[in-house]
Structure 1
Amino acid sequence: MWDDLEEYIENLSNDYSSKNNRKTKIVEIGVGKFQTISDHLRENENIELIMTDIDPANENVVKDDVFNPNMDIYKGADIIFSIRPPGEIQEAIMKIRDEIDCTLIIKPLFNEDLNIKAKGMKLKNYNRASFYIYQKE
């Protein structure tokens, strides 16, 4: 399942890179200690990846609080994604997305609904991965 989500993000990133003739800027919000997807995305030379968390697990993660975000981190982002974000931060993530105007992908816990799906988030099934996406036009 994680490979499928990673593949989807990478394919989307490749589409943006070829359209815009530059690296795709991706920000992962709330990376925590699960960095499997980010570790693989970082290997792609067409991706500029920034990982954020309120409590960074290592030096590769930027400290940021989604309730009081440093918008310089997100400026110019093409894709923001978050894996299993708690329901109480989903609205804050959507506010960042609204200000930046980018694609947002949220992979909730299995069988968990989003608090923000009424705001244009659509359920997407890609191979074995299920997630919500708000796609920038």
Structure 2
Amino acid sequence: MDEYKHIETCIGRYIADNYSNAVEIGIGRNTDAARIIADAGNLLCTTDIRNMPVPEELGFIVDDIFSPDLSRYRQADVIYSVRPGIEMVPSLIALAGRLDCDLIVYHLGFETYENGGERIDCGVILHRYHRCSKTIKQR
């Protein structure tokens, strides 16, 4: 498996195994992690600031993380983002706090935001910048 697919596979499996209502923020054109989560029945929707050619089963919506429509995320137990711009992370943290859900980020290279949050090794290093205050139902 090439490194690129390995990363998305690890992310997708971790989210699918630990959450039941996931939202991917900033999906872009790489749908691999979202497909794994959707195949497990645990994907709520995917978003990006621009309209993207995303398969219908991934529940794509256009939304701006800097001014999000909260009604689109209310059911989420996790929001996650794969290689977001570092400038997006404060808005992702704020959204997770408002929704009281986990926030998981996979950074490009060795980027981190502030202290890097809680590190999760699932075959790749993920960063949990916000943890839900209530117990998330484990699968």
Relative to 1, partners in 2 of residues 1:116 and 1:71: Cα closer, same or farther, differing over 3 Å?
Answer: farther
Cα distance between partner residues in 1 of 2:79 and 2:90:
14
Q: Write the deviation string for residues 58-92 of structure 1: whole angstroms up to 9, x where unpaired.
A: 25420000111000011121010000000111101
Q: Secondary structure at the match of 2:52?
A: coil
Cα distance between partner residues in 1 of 2:8 and 2:23:
17
Cα distance between partner residues in 1 of 2:37 and 2:44:
7
For the pair 1:55 / 2:50, whether they are aligned, the reply is yes
Shift of 1:115: 4.3
Give the counterpart of 1:39 among 28, 35, 41: 35
Cα distance between partner residues in 1 of 2:100 and 2:49:
22
Counterpart for residue 127 of structure 2: 132
Counterpart for residue 13 of structure 2: 7
Q: Which amino acid aligns with 2:53?
A: N
What TM-score do the two structures reach when normalised by structure 1? 0.81
Counterpart for residue 107 of structure 2: 108
Counterpart for residue 26 of structure 1: 22
Q: Write the deviation string for residues 13-36 of structure 1: whole angstroms up to 9, x where unpaired.
A: 2xxxxxxxxxx2211100000110
- Equivalent residues of 2:13, 2:37 under 8 A apart: no
Q: Write the deviation string for residues 4-63 of structure 1: whole angstroms up to 9, x where unpaired.
A: 2221111102xxxxxxxxxx2211100000110101211123x24200000121254200
Cα distance between partner residues in 1 of 2:62 and 2:44:
14
Long gaps (5+) in structure 1:
14-23
- Equivalent residues of 1:41, 1:49 under 8 A apart: no
Q: Secondary structure at the match of 1:42?
A: helix
What TM-score do the two structures reach when normalised by structure 2? 0.80
Q: Which amino acid aligns with 1:76?
A: Q
For the pair 1:90 / 2:96, whether they are aligned, the reply is no
Aligned pair count reads 122
Long gaps (5+) in structure 2:
1-6, 134-139
The alignment yields a C-alpha RMSD, in angstroms, of 1.6
